[in-house]
Structure 1
């Protein structure tokens, strides 16, 4: 399905400062970039480097003053969206190297603190059935509340406060899955159902692939209910939000305006 994306944002740097930007749709097999155009303000330095797991690119910029970014793209999503309820989870020793790290704690996802919680809440459920139960639990127990979290809010904070935005929903799903010995990673993305329109975040879990004996694959899980897997355009992936922020500044910065428009075509 073709997804049309348009975003603009700007920020101001008081002095020459290094910045990491990650805002473009990733070129990966499950989505085809039909067209794209990125326009950035002039800068002292600008370079592209591969992002986490080689999914997408980061743009490294050194600039001063007002900096503007404009991005337009059309992306054809070709992702398979199977029912994961019957999929098994793989034991740690069966996981490929690139999935194993997503069992471990990260800055916003203290999975070790959730082990007793998931065992008490989800009992004997395993694999995809447990993932779906986790998604439903988060959807039913957290309230989507813009402005309720900050850059320091962890999954444990969101679990206690029972509120958050998409990044917080994703962090709680990821943390509960990791506590269940199911690899889970954070995905930054565009999706046409996001309200209000913005960059979106969701979780992705690694479960068995029924088409490949002994194999596994990544499957999208969105507890906010706003993004359909078959309409989601990935920007990047990581351990949590720290790995895939659309803007990371290594110095003082002042964010200005941002618009994101995402629509789908038949």
Structure 2
């Protein structure tokens, strides 16, 4: 499937502010960048860094700065996670997968061990992940205004409401508490309404990563990877050293 992903971000910076941005489509298995354009107005120098977990832009912005990105992407077919996906013993996992078993800033999985064992301890692997996602969709409402950029999985578990970021943090937390490696993924998403940068996650089962949208708002076959990491702190589309005022932001994905 060929998709066109676009984003336009306009912010106002009152003083020289260091920024890190992740808006470019990742060079990753299952997706091929056919063409892309990046423009910054007014013309501002940025460093483009290729990382294993995504592509990073670094620079210093001041005044009103607009970042516009567009990419044509070919996506290979994806399949939904299935109940038979094998869960590995920790000793059998590749070494680079092990960090995604650990608690992180927004995902205190060590505090959910008892709950995960009681709720999902009778199944493993793909069946466990399906049960976790079903639990989240049943017990957590998709609702704007309940959470903030500082909200973690504990608060979402208590409030039982949030947006894609919160659903993903809770999914990551319960997966790791159940012994399944899990990492957050930032994505452009086809058919997401309203359009926005989308937070989903993936789990390591059967010697591979399986993408999951815990909100159920976007089909996995239309997800375009931007970056991955332990939680939202690693995959934010913009991180700044000081205050910033958002002027405008649009995101869109369409079939070609």
TM bucket, shorter chain: over 0.9
Q: CA deviation at 1:175?
A: 0.3
The corresponding residue for 1:38 is 38
Q: Which moved more, 1:158-167 or 1:76-85?
A: 76-85
The corresponding residue for 2:255 is 264
Superposition CA RMSD, Å? 1.3
Q: CA deviation at 1:82?
A: 5.3
The corresponding residue for 1:23 is 23
Asked whether the equivalents of residues 80 and 211 of structure 2 are also in contact (C-alpha less than 8 Å), the reply is no
Superposition pairs of residues 97-116 of structure 1, within 5 angstroms: 97-116=95-114
The corresponding residue for 2:236 is 245
C-alpha separation between the residues in 1 aligned to 2:36 and 2:172? 31
Asked whether the equivalents of residues 138 and 173 of structure 1 are also in contact (C-alpha less than 8 Å), the reply is yes
- Which residue of 125, 128, 131 maps to 1:130? 128
Q: CA deviation at 1:92?
A: 1.1
TM-score by length of 2: 0.96
C-alpha separation between the residues in 1 aligned to 2:136 and 2:244? 33
Superposition pairs of residues 133-148 of structure 1, within 5 angstroms: 133-148=131-146
The corresponding residue for 1:187 is 185
Q: Kindly tell me: are residues 38 and 45 of structure 1, through their superposed partners in 2, closer, same or farther at Cα, counting changes over 3 Å?
A: closer
3-state SS of 2:191 partner? coil
The corresponding residue for 1:160 is 158
1:164-219 Cα deviation digits (max 9, x unpaired): 000000000000000001000000001112111100010100001xxxxxxx1100
Asked whether the equivalents of residues 26 and 235 of structure 1 are also in contact (C-alpha less than 8 Å), the reply is yes
Q: CA deviation at 1:147?
A: 2.1
Asked whether the equivalents of residues 43 and 61 of structure 1 are also in contact (C-alpha less than 8 Å), the reply is no
**Runs of 5+ in structure 1 lacking a partner?**
209-215
Asked whether the equivalents of residues 43 and 63 of structure 1 are also in contact (C-alpha less than 8 Å), the reply is no
The corresponding residue for 2:86 is 88
The corresponding residue for 1:78 is 76
Q: CA deviation at 1:29?
A: 2.3
C-alpha separation between the residues in 2 aligned to 1:85 and 1:193? 26
Q: CA deviation at 1:83?
A: 4.2
Asked whether the equivalents of residues 79 and 229 of structure 1 are also in contact (C-alpha less than 8 Å), the reply is no
